[in-house]
Structure 1
Amino acid sequence: MTAHETDTPEDETDTPEDETDAQVATAQRAALELANIERTDRNAALESIADAIRERGDEILEANAEDVEEAEAMLERGEYTQALVDRLKLDPAKLEDIAGMVESVAGQDDPLGATLSARKLDADLELYRVAVPIGVVATVFESRPDALVQIAALALKSGNAVILKGGSEASESNRVLYEIIREATDGRFEGLPDGWAQLIEAHEEVDRLLELDEEVDLVMPRGSSEFVSYIQDNTQIPVLGHTEGVCHVYVDGEADLDMAEDVAFDAKVQYPAVCNAVETLLVDESVAAEFLPGLVERYDDAGVELRGDEATREVVDVGEATEADWRTEYGDLELSIKTVEDVYGAVEHINANGSKHTESILTEDTDAAETFMRGIDAASVFHNASTRFADGYRYGLGAEVGISTGKIHARGPVGLEGLTTYKYYLEGDGHLVASYSGEDALAFLHEDLDAEWTPGRRSDE
């Protein structure tokens, strides 16, 4: 029986809900085994995935071409955006990047079994906090087929079983990539369980998945705020949300304007379809007249559609920005510009309108930089750098399952560490709680230890 089959009588037909239940049950069993697989076997499986992606590149690109063709037809009908089509496209260079990303994940330090803290409670009584996998993680994501590979690779490295649900616009690409991952790993490595990765495709399967709060340990949606809110409102499973990126660059009155122009241009134009691209440029009023004309000309040459507030439009010829623009993730060659009084005005605007993703200040004034970086409520805050650096690979995490804009468990680009939790291990020698109560009670030592947990051993052995 395969992971997609169940024991139903011949006269009955499996519903999507039955199929999902079976897949989640398989993932549960796999998660218990995967948590104990040796690091070398997990890494070998990742290397096998990278090799398979390279070897079957033509097959992947053929499937992707079908998705792109359909997406472009939807674009012509006004149902898709150009940004979605851009995120969907794969090419040989992108496939090599994907394979390299998988190898990068394999090369990361093993996140499992690390001793996070150790404490001697008393003689021969030691407490260790040790990193372990979360268990069964589910991810629902839109558009980018490379996300499927990133998430699967990070799940495998961190010892988690994973349920994958991509957007219908990438269904052919996702199906082929999933089969390549499955065939590159199932039955090929000692102890590595079949079914550690599962693919679901129908909306009914997602709805059923969200009901399985006792079987699924974490769900990670990647998409718009409305999409993430829908997931949060329809499940009791803990949600680690990757929402939209309404990112800002603030050009301070003490900025190096040549550098600021280059950074602001990179943050918008280098790849506008992604969540870490800048959507609103804030400019200190003291440098607006000097700074904006040259940058606007560069933006115009690159095809960026610009909108500005009244103060900005007194300096440069751009369209009129509405209140909605300040909270819009364009995901395209569009940008709103606002002139602010000072760094405090920038902080106030960002905290009122941003999505808590990534914000950047360009300035040579360290006091202004500190005010901005301490005052902004966001997962990543930069000084003199493009917002496009907010990325798991660029942070040295190997890859990311998403960029969390929340504050619980994990924040910013979520890599291997964000897919682990911990257990407490207590090593004793017949110790009794009764010994630590009453008139002749023993006292706890509570001394921190510089020690790694080893089963059955204490630090002084």
Structure 2
Amino acid sequence: MSSAEEIAKAAKAAFEASQLIPSEERIVALHAIKRELEARKDEILTANKEDLQAAQVEVDAGRMSESLLKRLDLGKDDKWCSMLQGILDVATLPDPTGKVNYASELDDGLELYRVSCPIGVLLVIFEARPEVVVNIATLAIKSGNAAILKGGKESNRTTVLLANAISSGLAQTNLPPTYIQTIQTRAEVSSLLALDQYIDLVIPRGSNALVKNIQNNTRIPVMGHADGLCSVFLDESADIEKAVRVVVDSKVNYPSACNSAETLIVHESLLSTLWPVVAKALIAENVKLLCDERTLSHLNNTLDAEKLKSHVEPSAPESYSTEHLSLTLSVVSLPSLSSAIQWINSHSSHHTDSIVTESEANATTFCQGVDSAGVFVNASTRFADGFRYGFGTEVGISTGRIHARGPVGLEGLVTYKYKMRSKAKVGHTVGEFGTDGKQFKHKTIEATSVPF
């Protein structure tokens, strides 16, 4: 078995070699990988069932959450078909590399271009969802990055077979066979996190504990998010039908997702009107409500005692900093839009937050004031997703403020380099310019690609 350093060195060498291979070969690789996955479907799904059976034992013993178990199932809800379609979607997207986003003529015959290029070697660490192996490998290949992938131990059987299919697909192309590699142990992860001379970016996908541990144990830049503490705010002008639809979907559609709502903020003017209607709709979907004193008191007169006892509890301060990942929703009442914005900025994880409102002014204020990667108006927080944004798939969600933010697709996996060319017979030197010499032209060049 290769050591972590050998894996990292191989990834770096594969990345460097791939930069001299035409980008069209990446598309060839994606189609080859899809064919290999299709050919191995039965074998992979059988392994996935074995992973699920082992995980169920852990859930029954209280060592694993139900939400983690649900994320593990590759055969549920057309997840397999969506995974394969994601490969095709990414394959057809425009190449994110080689794009010119700045071009200038500094002097006669001296041209400067800023052009997009891959980041390098990605180390991606994730939990539970085995399809992430394919999603990230697809994005890495299309964007010209090499990748080392580490899935959770709970999906080992599945991810090994998915990785084998990817390797077989790559072997049918001119891309290096070590372009995409997988590792299995935490010890390998710990070793790789120290190899900043080979690895350029770490992307963790998983629990708060996972992300924080990685951030605290590496010098390599980390792109990701720790929590998905998303909120929906019912503004005083909120429409009843929109409110019910948006709140219920944000919580119920997929409760264990990082973009599901964990907090509902109700404008105090709605406590006796809209709030009970929304509460009944949530309870009808078996949602447990953790309510502050004011929202709770207004349910005492509108819900029967049985529903109050089974689905409503007083909230605690920690309710509003907890990622429930289940059919549990924290509820709080606030007096104004400004107080709601302040609440979100101090309590949320800056992932995605939504306002339900009929006021254009309030919608604008909310979107400007809330400091999150996604700010929505009259739309479910569940829309915060790379596939739904049209990215084909996503490598993860970033709540940082540098480089990439929100769902990270192809555009988030490239950086840029500056290319300069002198067409002068004797070249160009800096000494020619200055107070007593030439002055820079800095004339914009209209260009979509670099001519060299």
For the criterion TM > 0.5, the same-fold answer is yes
> By how many angstroms is 1:54 displaced?
2.4
**Secondary structure of the corresponding residue to residue 379 of structure 2:** coil
**Partner in structure 2 of residue 443 of structure 1:** 439
**Partner in structure 1 of residue 21 of structure 2:** 37
For residues 22-421 of structure 1, the aligned pairs below 5 Å read 22-91=6-75, 93-186=78-171, 188-189=172-173, 191-316=174-299, 317=308, 318-421=312-415
Cα separation, 1, equivalents of 2:287 and 2:317: 19
Over residues 108-159 of structure 1, what are the superposed CA-to-partner deviations in whole Å (9 max), with x where a residue is unaligned?
A: 1001111121011111111000111111110111111111111110000011
Confirm or deny: 8 A CA contact 1:400 1:413 kept in the other structure. Answer: yes
Letter in 1 for 2:191: R
Confirm or deny: 8 A CA contact 2:124 2:147 kept in the other structure. Answer: yes
Cα separation, 2, equivalents of 1:331 and 1:433: 59
Cα separation, 2, equivalents of 1:51 and 1:226: 36
Confirm or deny: 8 A CA contact 2:238 2:357 kept in the other structure. Answer: yes
Confirm or deny: 8 A CA contact 1:142 1:223 kept in the other structure. Answer: yes
Confirm or deny: 8 A CA contact 1:35 1:132 kept in the other structure. Answer: no
> By how many angstroms is 1:301 displaced?
2.4
Q: Would you say 1:452 and 2:448 are equivalent positions?
A: yes
Residue ranges of structure 1 left out of the alignment (5+ in a row): 6-18, 457-461
Equivalenced residues, count: 437
> By how many angstroms is 1:224 displaced?
2.5
Moved more, 363-372 or 30-39: 30-39
> By how many angstroms is 1:353 displaced?
0.5
**Partner in structure 1 of residue 304 of structure 2:** none
CA 1:453–1:294 in structure 2 vs 1: closer, same or farther (change >3 Å)?
closer
**Secondary structure of the corresponding residue to residue 211 of structure 1:** coil
**Partner in structure 2 of residue 9 of structure 1:** none
**Secondary structure of the corresponding residue to residue 239 of structure 1:** coil
> By how many angstroms is 1:225 displaced?
2.7
Cα separation, 2, equivalents of 1:259 and 1:332: 22
Over residues 182-241 of structure 1, what are the superposed CA-to-partner deviations in whole Å (9 max), with x where a residue is unaligned?
A: 11222x11x311110111111110110001011101111112233212111111111112
User: Kindly, what percent of the aligned residue pairs are identical?
Assistant: 42
> By how many angstroms is 1:455 displaced?
4.1
Over residues 357-405 of structure 1, what are the superposed CA-to-partner deviations in whole Å (9 max), with x where a residue is unaligned?
A: 0000010101111111111010010011000000011111111110001
* TM-score, normalised with respect to structure 2: 0.94
> By how many angstroms is 1:173 displaced?
1.2
Cα separation, 1, equivalents of 2:393 and 2:88: 10
Confirm or deny: 8 A CA contact 2:244 2:281 kept in the other structure. Answer: no
* TM-score, normalised with respect to structure 1: 0.92
Cα separation, 2, equivalents of 1:166 and 1:242: 17
Moved more, 291-300 or 368-377: 291-300
Over residues 39-93 of structure 1, what are the superposed CA-to-partner deviations in whole Å (9 max), with x where a residue is unaligned?
A: 3211121112222222322111111111111111111111111111111112162
> By how many angstroms is 1:315 displaced?
1.2
Confirm or deny: 8 A CA contact 1:263 1:386 kept in the other structure. Answer: yes
Confirm or deny: 8 A CA contact 1:35 1:160 kept in the other structure. Answer: no
Confirm or deny: 8 A CA contact 1:37 1:159 kept in the other structure. Answer: no
Confirm or deny: 8 A CA contact 2:212 2:226 kept in the other structure. Answer: no
Cα separation, 2, equivalents of 1:314 and 1:114: 58
CA RMSD of aligned residues (A): 1.3
Confirm or deny: 8 A CA contact 2:117 2:415 kept in the other structure. Answer: yes
Letter in 2 for 1:46: L
Confirm or deny: 8 A CA contact 1:115 1:129 kept in the other structure. Answer: yes
Residue ranges of structure 2 left out of the alignment (5+ in a row): 300-307
Confirm or deny: 8 A CA contact 2:130 2:159 kept in the other structure. Answer: yes
Cα separation, 2, equivalents of 1:269 and 1:453: 46
Cα separation, 2, equivalents of 1:180 and 1:346: 48
Moved more, 292-301 or 152-161: 292-301
> By how many angstroms is 1:438 displaced?
5.2
Confirm or deny: 8 A CA contact 2:100 2:450 kept in the other structure. Answer: no
Over residues 405-433 of structure 1, what are the superposed CA-to-partner deviations in whole Å (9 max), with x where a residue is unaligned?
A: 11111110111111111110001121111
Letter in 2 for 1:59: E
**Secondary structure of the corresponding residue to residue 445 of structure 1:** coil
Cα separation, 2, equivalents of 1:53 and 1:453: 35
**Partner in structure 2 of residue 432 of structure 1:** 429
**Secondary structure of the corresponding residue to residue 163 of structure 1:** strand
**Partner in structure 2 of residue 12 of structure 1:** none
Cα separation, 2, equivalents of 1:437 and 1:368: 52
